[in-house]
């Protein structure tokens, strides 16, 4: 199974720790690519409509190469820290640009990893979950998991052995338990 992980964090902290634990749990014989959204040169969608949701973007940047990787994946993991009660702008930009081939993204398996500086019962997590739920309903995505973690210091998640084990097990089962 080809898995693409879109890392929405511009830092090397708890979100990257979650991604690394997930990847570690998959074993060695898996096709996984991590896309670091902050390293991409992607312009914002202008809503020009030239793409018709299948043709790709006319912008001469990293959009098409990035979206092609996402389209080719069997499983897409979106990972983000919480910034102002939502996903990061870097991740949102990649998701917005997926519109250029949105018709080719139907019926994908996805997972969502969210790390925030508030306890996981805070509204910020449900706001992000609702946004992914709306996208999933529109594109008929199969959300395999939506996991949230509370971490305030840069290495908090790494110190949370229960969370790390959960992430490793989650990847081993590809999130087959719809939690």
pLDDT for 111-154, tens place per residue? 999 999 999 999 999 999 999 999 999 999 999 999 999 999 99
pLDDT digits (tens, 9 = 90+) for 17-70: 999 999 999 877 789 999 999 999 999 999 999 999 899 999 999 999 999 999
Does a structural domain hold residue 178?
no
Give the predicted TM-score (pTM) of the model: 0.94
In whole angstroms, give the CA distance from residue 131 to residue 122: 15
The string over 161-175, giving b where at least 16 C-beta atoms fall within 10 Å of a residue's C-beta and e elsewhere, is: eebbebbbebbeebb
Does a structural domain hold residue 177?
no
Concatenated DSSP letters for 69-106?
A: HHHH-SEEEEEEE-BTTB--HHHHHHHHHGGGGGGGGT
How many domains is the chain partitioned into structurally? 1
Does a structural domain hold residue 15?
yes
What CATH number did the domain enclosing 7 receive?
A: 3.40.50.360
Range of the structural domain that residue 155 is part of: 2-172
């Amino acid at each position: 199974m080809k898995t693409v992980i879109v890392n929405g964090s511009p830092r090397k902290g708890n979100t990257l720790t979650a991604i690394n634990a997930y990847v570690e749990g998959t074993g060695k014989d898996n096709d996984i690519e991590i896309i670091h959204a902050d390293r991409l040169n992607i312009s914002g969608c202008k809503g020009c409509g030239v793409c018709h949701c299948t043709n790709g973007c006319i912008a001469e940047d990293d959009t098409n190469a990035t979206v092609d990787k996402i389209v080719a994946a069997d499983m897409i993991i979106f990972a983000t820290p919480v910034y102002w009660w939502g996903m990061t702008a870097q991740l949102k930009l990649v998701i917005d640009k997926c519109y250029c081939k949105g018709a080719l993204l139907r019926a994908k398996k996805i997972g969502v990893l969210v790390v925030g500086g508030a306890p996981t019962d805070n509204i910020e997590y449900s706001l992000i979950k609702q946004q992914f739920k709306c996208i999933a309903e529109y594109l008929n995505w199969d959300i395999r998991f939506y996991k949230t973690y509370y971490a305030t210091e840069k290495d908090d998640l790494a110190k949370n052995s229960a969370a790390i084990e959960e992430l490793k097990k989650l990847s081993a089962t590809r999130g087959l338990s719809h939690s």
